[in-house]
């Protein structure tokens, strides 16, 4: 499905929120799970969260850590259930709305959009929800509204790499691939750039019709058969 192919191109913002100021003593608390997530150890976070929930099944903070850990581990159905349970416990949980919305992006962009909008009703300046709303709008083909959402993020946080890259990719999807290339090229040319930056630029180049240039960029990271598959996917997004 075309929308499913688009999700890896657009960038979900990094999770926000202050990290734990200190670790609790035994038994481990939610801040330990949060610290494990921040350190890239979702298995540890899940184990700690599960232990807390065995004692306190409706503890909202532990449900959030559990859901985030399951999502990071790719156990998406279980993560969906955890976020949904958290919303039943705390209907105003913005992190749960965002987490569940991100999962729904892969199956129902309209439902994801509604969750992000609900989060923004509670926190209108939440840049993560604004960025993710833009992704939902792009998946629905409403590129003008998506770009407005990304620009709102940049108005609040001019240094948001995710929003700037998503804005450029949205412009390419909306028929302004040449402008998108100019925005994306500095990221790909940066000595510290990663393959994601090169592939974003390649996507815009392919949508602009520069198949050969896109292929050269992709070939730095991918074997020929994967280059061809990526080019076909990117060209499918062209207006």
Q: What is the secondary structure of 135-163 as a DSSP string?
A: HHHHHTT-HHHHHHHHHHHHHH-TT-HHH
- Per-residue pLDDT tens for 79-120? 999 999 999 999 999 999 999 999 999 999 999 999 999 999
Q: Is 13 helix (H, G, I), strand (E, B) or coil?
A: coil
- Containing structural domain, residue 220: 177-239
The reply to whether 62 and 165 lie within a common domain is: yes
The reply to whether 159 and 200 lie within a common domain is: no
Provide the pLDDT for residue 3.
Answer: 57
The reply to whether 152 and 209 lie within a common domain is: no
The reply to whether 190 and 157 lie within a common domain is: no
Choosing from 174, 206, 228, the residue where a domain stops is 174
The reply to whether 69 and 164 lie within a common domain is: yes
The reply to whether 158 and 216 lie within a common domain is: no
Q: Which among 161, 234, 184, 178 is positioned nearest to 12, based on CA atoms?
A: 161
Mean residue pLDDT across the chain: 89
DSSP state of 28: P
Q: Per-residue confidence at 14, pLDDT binned at 50, 70, 90?
A: very low
Q: Is the pLDDT of residue 197 over 60?
A: yes
Show the CA angle centred on residue 14, arms to residues 137 and 149, nearest 5°.
30
Provide the pLDDT for residue 10.
Answer: 78
Q: Which among 76, 75, 120, 63 is positioned nearest to 97, based on CA atoms?
A: 120
The reply to whether 121 and 164 lie within a common domain is: yes
Is the overall model pTM greater than 0.85, yes or no? Answer: yes
The reply to whether 8 and 124 lie within a common domain is: yes
- Per-residue pLDDT tens for 136-184? 999 999 999 999 999 999 999 999 999 999 999 999 999 999 999 999 9
Structural domain contains residue 39: yes
Number of domains in the chain: 2
């Amino acid at each position: 499905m075309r929308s499913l192919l688009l999700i890896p191109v657009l960038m979900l913002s990094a999770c926000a929120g202050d990290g734990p100021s200190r670790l609790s003593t035994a038994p481990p608390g939610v801040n330990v799970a949060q610290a494990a997530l921040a350190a890239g150890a979702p298995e540890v976070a899940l184990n700690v969260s599960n232990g807390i929930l065995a004692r306190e099944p409706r503890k909202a903070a532990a449900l959030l850590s559990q859901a985030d850990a399951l999502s990071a581990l790719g156990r998406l159905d279980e993560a969906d259930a955890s976020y949904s349970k958290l919303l039943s416990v705390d209907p105003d949980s913005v992190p749960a709305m965002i987490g569940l919305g991100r999962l729904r992006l892969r199956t129902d962009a309209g439902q994801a959009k509604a969750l992000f909008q609900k989060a923004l009703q509670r926190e209108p300046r939440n840049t993560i929800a604004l960025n993710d709303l833009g992704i939902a709008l792009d998946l629905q083909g409403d590129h003008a509204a998506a770009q407005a959402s990304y620009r709102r993020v940049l108005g609040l946080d001019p240094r948001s790499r995710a929003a700037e890259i998503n804005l450029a990719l949205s412009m390419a999807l909306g028929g302004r691939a040449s402008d998108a290339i100019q925005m994306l090229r500095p990221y790909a040319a940066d000595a510290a750039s990663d393959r994601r930056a090169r592939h974003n630029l390649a996507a815009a180049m392919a949508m602009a019709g520069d198949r050969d240039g896109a292929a050269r960029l992709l070939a730095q990271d991918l074997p020929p058969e994967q280059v061809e598959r990526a080019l076909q996917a990117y060209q499918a997004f062209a207006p």
